[in-house]
Amino acid sequence: MVRMSAYIYRQMLTSAPSKGDAMSTTPPTRDHVVVVVAHPDDESFGCGSLIARAVAAGRPVTVVCATRGEGGERLPDPATDHLPLAEVREAELRAAAAVLGVGAIEVLGHRDSGFDGPVAPGALVATDVATLAEELGGLLDRLAPTEVVVLDGRDGHRDHLHVLAAVERALAARPGVRLVESCLAASLMRRWVEEVRGAQPDTAYLELDPDTLGRPDEELTALDTSAHLEVRERAIACHRSQRSPFDDLSPELRRAFLGTDHVVVREEVAAAPTATRPG
């Protein structure tokens, strides 16, 4: 994995033509995309097609991953069973990011909170949103993205919701940076629950109320990302230590999830109203 240095980014940012300069033959390099996720695998399972699409358009992409995924499930694998899960999953993240064409990865090293259960000391959700927003804000100031991509958290994972809240808070203080929420369409989630109920009856996601899973389709913009399906499938396959949420799905539903991305684009993130007025 080639790590793009801050120096190279600065060079790109200072030498790039202005956005929309139609006469220029230099590829636009100002449109830096920063993808902020909670766990290794979110970059592939969650928004792999958006990353591949941005890379194909010549945009530099950085992935910021808040944890090393040590709270996830683990499949037995003689090749890696002796290694700490965090180490295995970070290596999978780096391999998948290379497949997707990601230029740089920042792993923050918070502890994976897990889907449910007691919150361990140092867990991501034990870090308050303001503190996490400050940490992310410092990174965003250095990376200077025009766009931040985040999962919308409608799969019910508490770490995803926590990252979304921190990103929103960081961007509310940084006007001019677009937020793209990578969303799960409610219609697809209803089909997913039906198919997974038979194949993976133990998955924790089935304990959630199906009506709360996903985002109403009418709120979403659908992007045809089928051109990036092959790259995304290869990135997903890098996460060997676990089953993907798309395993065991019918070919039709798998393609519906992976060949179309659903997004909500927010040109500005409004600052949260303050609870009290000064004075």
Q: Which residues bind Zn ion (CB under 5 A)?
A: 38-39, 42
Q: 35 vs 38, which CB is nearer to Zn ion? A: 38
To the nearest whole angstrom, how small is the minimum distance from the Cβ of residue 152 to Zn ion?
Answer: 12
The β-bridge partners of 63 are: 35, 105
Q: 60 vs 166, which CB is nearer to Zn ion? A: 166
Write phi, then psi, for 66 (nearest 5 degrees). -70, -30
Q: 30 vs 39, which CB is nearer to Zn ion? A: 39
| Alpha carbon distances (Å) from 90 to 79, 107, 179, 221 | 15, 8, 25, 31
Q: 40 vs 137, which CB is nearer to Zn ion? A: 40
To the nearest whole angstrom, how small is the minimum distance from the Cβ of residue 110 to Zn ion?
Answer: 12
To the nearest whole angstrom, how small is the minimum distance from the Cβ of residue 67 to Zn ion?
Answer: 8
Q: 31 vs 168, which CB is nearer to Zn ion? A: 168
To the nearest whole angstrom, how small is the minimum distance from the Cβ of residue 262 to Zn ion?
Answer: 17
Q: 144 vs 208, which CB is nearer to Zn ion? A: 208
Alpha-carbon distance 223 to 111, whole Å? 33
To the nearest whole angstrom, how small is the minimum distance from the Cβ of residue 273 to Zn ion?
Answer: 29
Residue 29's nearest CA partner among 40, 21, 38, 37 is 21
- The size of the chain, in residues, is 279
To the nearest whole angstrom, how small is the minimum distance from the Cβ of residue 240 to Zn ion?
Answer: 16
The residue of the chain with the least Cβ separation from Zn ion equals 39
To the nearest whole angstrom, how small is the minimum distance from the Cβ of residue 112 to Zn ion?
Answer: 8
Q: How far, rounded to the nearest angstrom, does the alpha carbon of residue 168 sit from its chain's CA centroid?
A: 14
Q: 38 vs 140, which CB is nearer to Zn ion? A: 38
To the nearest whole angstrom, how small is the minimum distance from the Cβ of residue 115 to Zn ion?
Answer: 9
Q: 9 vs 105, which CB is nearer to Zn ion? A: 105
Alpha-carbon distance 77 to 87, whole Å? 14
